[in-house]
Amino acid sequence: MTVLIGLVVLALIALFVVSTINRKQEREQIRRMQQRKLKLKHDAIVDIVNCLEQTLPNHQIAKHINDEVIELLQQIATLETSSKTHLENSIRHAEARSEDFASPKAKNNSSYQKDSDAQITHTQLQLGEAATLLRHVCAKGKINEQELEAFTIELSWAFLMVSVTSFIAQGYKFSHLGDRFSAYGYYQKAQQLLMESLHQDPRRLRMIKELGELMEGSRKAMSRELMPEKSVTE
């Protein structure tokens, strides 16, 4: 009888140990899943920040979205059970990047123009994601409604300009090659996009007019203030 009781006690202890190990493994699995989910979100937002840095002349939007990267890294760090050195370095790097975006002295090599249809599509998708993120940033009280509206208008203009300026740049290339027919086609595509747009930016009408002049041959390039990246001396 004593042996039987001893075996039952040992079995209960074994069950308790197994249950404890299973719970620990489940908690570890949940932690890893949470961390993996946050890392995927982090990587996606970093891609958006990179796109904004390369595309938008105003880096304030990139700054606000990069601040979300910092917040995600901090959340990932709280879930880390091993060394956090690499995460702490990543946080410092992200913080320095936000400071650069906020600085008026920061270098700006952004351009709306993209080299391929794939780049145009990818950039426009990222601009749309940026607008969605800004709404979340506003909901958290980090920007106000007026800032959200101004940033959204800027993103929608950038969305339009990515296609328009890329088409114009292609038109320049064919024009310089002496292929006026192909150049005309790209200028026409750019003008059509502008004419179909309801954007209220006054530059839109100026660009429509200048594209008409490009097509009729009375102008060699867009005004520098409208398209500084590829403008040539007229």
Q: Is the pLDDT of residue 71 over 90?
A: yes
Q: Give the model confidence (pLDDT) of 109-168 as tens digits.
A: 899 999 999 999 999 999 999 999 999 999 999 999 999 999 999 999 999 999 999 999
Average the pLDDT over 95-103 and give the result. 94
Residue length of the chain: 234
- The domain spans of the chain are 19-103
Banded model confidence at residue 227, pLDDT cuts 50, 70, 90: confident
Q: Nearest-CA neighbor of 191 among 213, 176, 172, 174?
A: 213
> 145-176 and 117-139 are packed helices; what angle lies between their axes, rounded to 10 degrees?
170
Residue-level pLDDT at 170: 95
Residue-level pLDDT at 25: 63
CB 114 within 8 A of CB 230: no
Residue-level pLDDT at 21: 65
CB 143 within 8 A of CB 89: no
The residue ranking higher by pLDDT, 80 or 157, is 157
Q: Give the model confidence (pLDDT) of 10-48 as tens digits.
A: 666 656 666 666 666 667 677 788 889 999 999 999 999
